Amino acid sequence: MAIVTLSTDIGQQDYIVGAIKGQLLSYNQSLNIVDISHYLSQSNFPEAAYICSNAFQHFPKNTIHIVLLHFFENKVNHLLVAEHKGQFIICADNGILMMITNERPSKVHKISFSNSKTFLETTNLIAQNVNELSKCFSIDTIGEIFTEYLTKLPLQPTISNNWIKGQIIFIDNFENVVINITKPIFEEQRKGRRFNIVLKRNEVIEDLSDNYLSVGEGEKIAWFNSAGYLELAVNKGNMAGLFGLQGFSEINYKEGKSMQNKLFYSTATIFFED
């Protein structure tokens, strides 16, 4: 039984997600369809990549991941199907592939089609190819080899000898804030030194914790979450709301809005003390 995951920006207010699942099952009723999220942000590709990559890595070999994000941002006449670390990703050619994999996948093919297709006609084509993949788990018979796909790299922190500046890539339902600083990057730069994590408005966190019980109610807390990223929160509070923090915005980035008008992402800086 093949496993297929769905990650989209569609939401679940209407029939579209159900229709896509129906298309997949119409070609192969034995598919095990798993929802990752249907609330990916069209304006925050780093957030979408964070959600997808950290979910995908826990699935078994030969899982097929469908990512429907900002699908009609540009004129669409082909899809990408990639093989990466024994799994498969089907998505639009809009840069999200490399942001999820963080490296060039071992194989990428292009599935060409008429650009007059509606969204559900396109997802029906995806369902057909998922069915083919579920039979052989090889992209060699699907589409054609393609190397000129759009690439966008994940947001990387800025690093100096005595500090690291990271960007907010995700804010969860509790308004906890995830920064694009991983534990290996932190430890490599730390070199055993003391540190201060400085937020907007010069709010400071001086220690790393294991859980919420490490601090009192209403106090700030920092730890490396299960995905290995720096996460900031307030015990029984809303970190993002209380400190006016917001995540990266693709729209603001493309429009080049300046820091004087409105921050298109918020940052946290870790300063190291010799």
Is 15 within the bounds of a domain?
yes
pLDDT at 251: 53
Q: Which two tokens stand for residue 3?
A: 């496993």
CB-CB contact of 266 with 167 (8 Å): yes
User: CA–CA separation, 199 vs 267, rounded Å?
Assistant: 7
CATH number of the domain that residue 133 is part of? 3.40.50.10790
pLDDT at 266: 78
Residues 108 and 216 reside in one and the same domain: no
pLDDT at 254: 52
Residues 162 and 140 reside in one and the same domain: no
Is 85 within the bounds of a domain?
yes
Is 117 within the bounds of a domain?
yes
Residues 176 and 118 reside in one and the same domain: no
Residues 15 and 136 reside in one and the same domain: yes
Give the count of domains, the chain: 2
pLDDT at 260: 36
CB-CB contact of 8 with 38 (8 Å): yes
pLDDT at 258: 39
Return the C-alpha torsion angle 156, 81, 36, 185, nearest 10: -20
User: How many residues would you count in the chain?
Assistant: 274
Residues 139 and 253 reside in one and the same domain: no
Maximum Cα interatomic distance, the chain, rounded to a whole number of Å:
63
pLDDT at 261: 37
Residues 140 and 11 reside in one and the same domain: yes
Degrees, nearest 5: CA angle 80-122-62:
45
Residues 82 and 29 reside in one and the same domain: yes
Is 232 within the bounds of a domain?
yes
Looking at 123, 145, 167, the residue that finishes a domain is 145
Residues 175 and 103 reside in one and the same domain: no
Residue 39, domain extent = 3-145
User: CA–CA separation, 181 vs 246, rounded Å?
Assistant: 16
Is 151 within the bounds of a domain?
no
CATH number of the domain that residue 171 is part of? 2.40.30.90
Is 153 within the bounds of a domain?
no
Q: Which two tokens stand for residue 147?
A: 């190397």
Looking at 111, 145, 179, the residue that finishes a domain is 145
User: CA–CA separation, 204 vs 135, rounded Å?
Assistant: 54
Handedness of CA 31, 36, 42, 44 (dihedral sign): negative
Residues 172 and 102 reside in one and the same domain: no
Each residue's pLDDT, cut to its tens digit, for the chain (274 residues) gives: 899 999 999 999 999 999 999 999 999 999 999 999 999 998 889 999 999 999 999 999 999 999 999 987 777 889 999 999 999 999 999 999 999 999 999 999 999 988 778 899 999 999 999 999 999 999 998 999 999 999 998 889 999 999 999 999 999 998 999 999 999 999 999 999 999 999 876 789 999 998 777 888 889 999 999 999 999 999 888 888 877 777 766 555 455 543 433 443 478 999 999 8
Residues 9 and 127 reside in one and the same domain: yes
DSSP code for 154: P
Residues 42 and 133 reside in one and the same domain: yes
CB-CB contact of 78 with 94 (8 Å): no
Looking at 145, 171, 202, the residue that finishes a domain is 145
User: CA–CA separation, 121 vs 123, rounded Å?
Assistant: 6
